[in-house]
Structure 1
Amino acid sequence: MFVSLLLAAGSGLTLIDNLGQITLSLGYTDSSIYVSMISIWNFLGRVGGGYFSEIIVRDFAYPRPVAMAVVQVIMAIGLFYYAVGLPGQIYVTTVLVGLGYGAHWAILPAAASELFGLKNFGALYNFLTMANPAGSLIFSEVIASGIYDHYAKEQAALRHRDSASMLIKPLRDDDSLSCVGTVCYSITCGILSGLCIVAAALSLIVVYRTRRVYTQLYGSRG
Structure 2
Amino acid sequence: MFSPPAQGEDYTILQALVSVDMLVLFLATICGVGGTLTAIDNMGQIGQSLGYPPKSIKTFISLISIWNYAGRVTAGFASEAVLARYKFPRPLMLTLVLLLACVGHLLIAFGVPQSLYAASVVIGFCFGAQWPLLFAIISELFGLKYYSTLYNFGSVASPIGAYALNVRVAGYLYDVEAARQHGGTLDGAGDKTCIGVQCFKLAFLIITAATVAGALVSLLLVWRTRNFYRSDIYAKFRDAGK
What is the TM-score when the length of structure 2 is the normalising length? 0.81
Q: Deviations over 1:173-209 (max 9, x none)?
A: 3312110011111111111111111111111110110
Are the equivalent residues in 1 in contact too, given 2:50–2:111 (CA < 8 A)?
Answer: no
The Cα RMSD (Å) is 1.8
- Are positions 1:184 and 2:207 aligned together? no
Contact 2:76/2:129 (8 A) holds in 1 = yes
Partner of 2:232: 217
| Structure 2 gaps, min length 5 | 1-24, 235-242
Equivalent position of 1:198 in the other structure: 213
Q: Is the 8 A contact 1:68 1:203 kept in 2?
A: yes
Q: 1:102-142: CA deviations, max 9, x gaps? A: 10112111111111110111111110110011110111111
| Among 12, 16, 22, the residue aligned to 2:36 | 12
SS in 2 for 1:174: coil
Look up the match of 1:163. none
Task: Confirm or deny: 8 A CA contact 1:57 1:218 kept in the other structure.
Answer: no
Contact conserved, 1:13 with 1:136, CA < 8 A, in 2?
A: yes
Give the structure 1 partner of residue 239 of structure 2: none
Structure 1, gaps ≥5 residues long: 158-168
Is residue 41–residue 98 contact of structure 1 (8 Å, CA) maintained in 2? Answer: yes
Say if 2:175 and 2:186, in contact at 8 Å, map to a contact too. Answer: no
Within 1, Cα distance between the matches of 2:186 and 2:91? 49
**May I ask how many residue pairs the two structures share in their alignment?**
208
Residue in 1 that maps onto 2:7: none
Structure 1 runs (4+) deviating above 4 angstroms are 169-172
TM-score (norm 1): 0.88
2:95 to 45, 59, 69: 69
Match of 2:11 in 1: none
Counterpart residue number, 2:8: none
Q: Which has the larger displacement, 85-94 or 110-119?
A: 85-94
Instruction: Give the aligned partner of residue 132 of structure 1.
Output: 158
Paired position in structure 1 for 2:104? 78
For 2:210 and 2:105, how far apart are their aligned partners in 1? 10
Q: Sequence identity, in percent?
A: 36
